[in-house]
A and B are shown apart, each in its own frame.
Chain A
Amino acid sequence: MTRPQHVRIGFYVCHCGHNIAAMVDCTAVARYIATLPGVVLSRDYKYMCSDPGQELIQQDIREYGLNRVVVASCSPLLHEHTFRGAVEAGGLNPFFFHMVNIREHNSWVHTDRVLATEKAKDLARAAIERVVHHKPLEIKKVPIHPDVLVVGGGIAGIHAAMTLANAGKKVFLVEREPSIGGHMARFDKTFPTLDCAACILTPKMSEVGSHPNITLWTWSEVVKVDGYVGNYTVQVKRKARYVIEDLCTGCQDCIAHCVYKEPKFDDLFNERLGKRKPVYIPFPQATPQVVLIDPEVCLNFKRSKNPDGTPVVSDKCKKTCVEACGEKRAIDFTQKDQVVEIKVGTILVCTGFKTFDARRVPAYGYGVYPNVYTALEVERLVNASGPTGGHVVLRQGTNPDGSPKTPRSIGIIHCVGSRDKKTNLWCSRVCCMYSMKLAHLLKEHTGAEIYNFYIDIRTPGKGYEEFYNKLLEEGTHFIRGRVGEVTDWTMTPEEEGKLVIRVEDTLAGVVRRIPVDMVVLATGLEPQADADAVRRLFNMSCGGDGWFLERHPKLAPVNTFTDGVFLAGCCQGPKDIPDTVAQAGAAAAEALALIDKGYVEQEPNTAHILDTECSGCKSCIPLCPYTAILFDETRRKAYINEALCKGCGTCVGSCPSGSIVQNLFEDAEIFSEIAGVLAGEPVTAGRTGNLTPIATP
């Protein structure tokens, strides 16, 4: 192979401790690459990313007059930025650098040291061939729009929005439900401190509602996201409430005067344990304090729908609500869904979780036996503003005085829909603690005998183990065993009329039958039902379990693979309130750092059109996913707006005249890289297994 005389390449292969060196003979790779034409210098080094490693590159550039640098180490995702910086500090244009991944793509995934070493040589040789054709490029700076979109108004979204707004940023907070507050608003107390969830949450909720920097849109959903970091265009659907938000004062006279004298319809906020009217406010502290009308049950709407699915006004109702509203004229039966468009620079996704559907574990009888409850139902049952005013009474059975039955014995079953290959394999992290909290509250409310059935008690949090200890002191029974079944067939007189829990007490090594009045299922946490659609909307990734994927589990826990889109709270994985709030703060800080920098640097891997070659066929224009290609009618040529180009390469591949060129992926670069990979001697046999001793000098 011959090279232009001026090319002087420096090559470095990194051991990454044993991460690479255990499977790749780095010294041999360095020795081999040294033999290639144009390579002035070839070294192997323990940690190229370390300060001395970077210093080495800079020194060599100066000493040996290098004008190309190749590093074979880990993924460019991790350290391309580092090495480009080192090359630039050494006085070269950073794009005279190329990186080879011999860790994720080689040492970590292979078991044959001989073959892995040969592969490392092949990949390194390809990079050497490619880097010869590199050109100096310039990083472009694009300004960032300072406004932020926060999606989801649970505690994560609330905290993030407040943090950003207090820092002076304009925030759009979009929430799907009629009120913000999320799951936390439905909890009674919070573990381990037992402070009242509403007492600590509602002040934050009303602050959000009145903050001058926050635009709060509830009963709204994001439907479209376009653009890129710093410059997103977002469409939000504001669903019809049939109440004009700006005119409603939250007086609730309409609810009082609804033609339905009594609440008749399932109250979803209270887990269907209570009832509401067709015109309602989800809960007393709802934010905003604006009512809404459910067209599915309101008498002023027909039960049939328009072809597009929108409700039809029947005008059959006496409309006593409108009368009660009077001069305020806030009720508007003709309201339609509206789509509004906003521009933001960054997006925080805080869409939360859903609780596991307990019917999926039929052995526990949820939906069959009325006195089997989910934990969230019990949260509402013990809550003073819940459907029973905080009295724990059962769905079925009566006390001797004829009042609804108060449970005398309660079994709490942990891990329902968690740690189970048939449902969800993950540990939901919060159930041990909330089960113990409910055990405490139920004991406080009823004095009942309480049994906790657990597989393992997990209390890794500040004050959590102490809380467990407190429960033990209270005389709550802890039985280590996953319950086999909840049933109503009986073997002894004391089991009559009760629910019987059959379980192995695994610590005692005996099978037990325990009759109880009430069973509480500690249901786990799951990704939202529409998590996949939301993932696509924001161009994020999901793990195999369906939770949104962070960019790096340790080092970029609130970033996503899309720049400018951040994550917080349970949409990323199950976590408790302290962790959620901490993560929301972190996500807000990451967004602030980006906004206050004022600009984003754009990778110069954009495409441009060679005027002389372009035939003006326009075939590239509809293919561009970023609408970055425009057409100059006077010159009859296409041209690319580089600010919009994301470097995906679609147009390059499709241009019939080959007139589109992409920086960093020019034909010469790609073809020489391919030729480089293929130039090696074929190796057919290597030793299997990681048996070769590690060759570190």
Chain B
Amino acid sequence: MKYAYFPGCSLKGTGRAYEESLVPVLQHLGVELQELEDWNCCGATAYMAVDEGKACAAAARNLALAERTGLRQMLAPCSACYLVLNKTRHYLQEYPAMRQVVCRALESVGLACRADTTVRHPLDVLVHDIGRDAIRQKVSRPLKGLKVAPYYGCQIVRPYSTFDDQANPTSMDRLIEALGATVVKWPLKTKCCGGSLTGTLPEAGLRLSYILLKEAIKRGADVIATVCPLCQFNLDAYHAKIAARWEPVRIPTVYFSQLMGLAFGLPDHQTVLHRGMVQFRPPPAPAPTPA
């Protein structure tokens, strides 16, 4: 299995633990990734707020680069990138006026975009292309007894629900169960973490992160598993501020890929748990069963 790979800015920056853990996990499962050559920022939510046409054109350049690789599918692990690239595809397919502007702009630098590369999320690929059985077979260190609150955030199920249920997504739940851990049921799976408002308007933004952390603890979770670099940042980086405003709600938040690496028995530099500001201390590996 081979996919084009769009890492996005966060995965090279504050969210580097996502890439550092996801790539080896996929390799371990026999997936080959080809990073898009000279990719640019997808535009995220900020660009849409300034100029829709340019935001689409910026995202479409990446779609055009993906088409050049000849690979029909592109992996976009960051939720914002995943949404923006999908939304751009949707716009180019649905709105001829937008398509014309964007395609002409790309032509001016010799690029062409048919918007026919499928943009896939790693959860989608893991659950549907690879399958839970294949994942279960690779588990060498089951995460027995670990209680994980799966947190999907907003943008991989909204507004488009391409691979999972919009109201109650379960792909990560199934993945976590395949790793031997226990899924904590909570109603906040897809609630907003505050997005960039945690930085720009902490009063409002941090409250949302606080609610998530508080409820995860209340429901007995040991760790929150996330799929998005911004969610991970918000739930991991602001504990001091949250404690000052409300109450201490210390619980680690890691990428699902870090849990997978752990369960696969991958080395520390591939699970990169040290990247968390709230340190996640995994349960001790179960004693090896005598042969």
Contacts and interface: CB of A to CB of B under 8 A. Distances in A.
A–B interface present (Cβ within 8 A): yes
Interface of A: 362-363, 365, 368, 487-489, 491
B174 to A, nearest CB: 18
Contacts of B211: 489, 491
Contacts, number: 13
A487 B219 CA distance: 14
A362 B187 contact: no
Contact of B215 (A363, A365, A489): A489
- Indicate the member of A487, A488, A489, A491 with the most B CB atoms within 10 Å: A489
A497 to B, nearest CB: 12
A368 B168 CA distance: 11
A368 B167 CA distance: 12
Given A363-B167, A487-B187, A489-B186, 9 more contacts: A362-B167, A362-B168, A365-B187, A368-B187, A489-B187, A489-B188, A489-B211, A489-B215, A491-B211
Nearest to A360: B167
Interface SS, A side? loop
Contact of A488 (B167, B168, B187): B187
Contacts of A368: 187
Contacts of A491: 211
A640 B128 CA distance: 61
- Indicate the member of B167, B186, B187, B215 with the most A CB atoms within 10 Å: B187
Nearest first, the 8 A-B pairs at minimum CB distance are A362-B167, A487-B187, A489-B215, A489-B187, A362-B168, A489-B188, A488-B187, A363-B167
Contacts of B188: 489
A365 B185 CA distance: 13
Nearest to B191: A489
Contacts of A362: 167-168
13 contacts: A362-B167, A362-B168, A363-B167, A365-B187, A368-B187, A487-B187, A488-B187, A489-B186, A489-B187, A489-B188, A489-B211, A489-B215, A491-B211
Nearest to A362: B167
A505 B187 CA distance: 23
B216 to A, nearest CB: 10
Contacts of A488: 187
Nearest to A491: B211
A489 B215 CA distance: 7
Contacts of B186: 489
Interface in B191-216: 211, 215
Interface string B163-201: 000011000000000000000001110000000000000
Contacts of A363: 167
Nearest to B185: A368
A368 B165 CA distance: 15
A487 to B, nearest CB: 5
Nearest to B215: A489
Interface SS, B side? loop
Interface of B: 167-168, 186-188, 211, 215
Contacts of B215: 489
A363 B189 CA distance: 12
Contacts of A489: 186-188, 211, 215
Nearest to A487: B187
Contacts of B187: 365, 368, 487-489
Contacts of A487: 187
A362 B186 CA distance: 14
B206 to A, nearest CB: 14
Nearest to A485: B187
A551 B271 CA distance: 69
A362 B166 CA distance: 9
Nearest to B210: A491
A136 B188 CA distance: 77
- Indicate the member of B167, B168, B188 with the most A CB atoms within 10 Å: B167
A63 B168 CA distance: 79
Nearest to A500: B187
Contacts of A365: 187
A41 B43 CA distance: 74
A519 to B, nearest CB: 14
A133 B81 CA distance: 72
A388 B169 CA distance: 36
A487 B167 CA distance: 13
A41 to B, nearest CB: 54
A488 B211 CA distance: 12
Nearest to A488: B187
B269 to A, nearest CB: 37
Contacts of B167: 362-363
Nearest to B214: A489
A57 B168 CA distance: 69
A365 B187 CA distance: 9
A359 to B, nearest CB: 10
A71 to B, nearest CB: 46
A368 B188 CA distance: 13
A365 B168 CA distance: 11
A368 B185 CA distance: 11
A362 B188 CA distance: 13
Nearest to A368: B187
A363 B167 CA distance: 7
Nearest to B187: A487
A206 B188 CA distance: 52
A642 B188 CA distance: 70
A415 to B, nearest CB: 18
A366 to B, nearest CB: 12
B247 to A, nearest CB: 12
B184 to A, nearest CB: 13
A505 B168 CA distance: 26
A488 B188 CA distance: 10
Contacts of B168: 362
Nearest to B219: A489
A363 B186 CA distance: 13
A386 to B, nearest CB: 30
A35 to B, nearest CB: 48
A489 to B, nearest CB: 5
A487 B188 CA distance: 9
A640 to B, nearest CB: 54
A363 B158 CA distance: 14
A586 to B, nearest CB: 43
A487 B191 CA distance: 12
A611 B215 CA distance: 87
A487 B215 CA distance: 12
A447 to B, nearest CB: 30
A121 B259 CA distance: 77
A97 to B, nearest CB: 50
A363 B165 CA distance: 13
A489 B167 CA distance: 16
B187 to A, nearest CB: 5
A487 B168 CA distance: 13
A362 B165 CA distance: 11
B260 to A, nearest CB: 28
Nearest to B166: A362
A437 to B, nearest CB: 30
A604 B215 CA distance: 76
A198 to B, nearest CB: 38
B224 to A, nearest CB: 14
A157 B103 CA distance: 62
A487 B189 CA distance: 12
A109 B93 CA distance: 31
A488 B187 CA distance: 7
B241 to A, nearest CB: 18
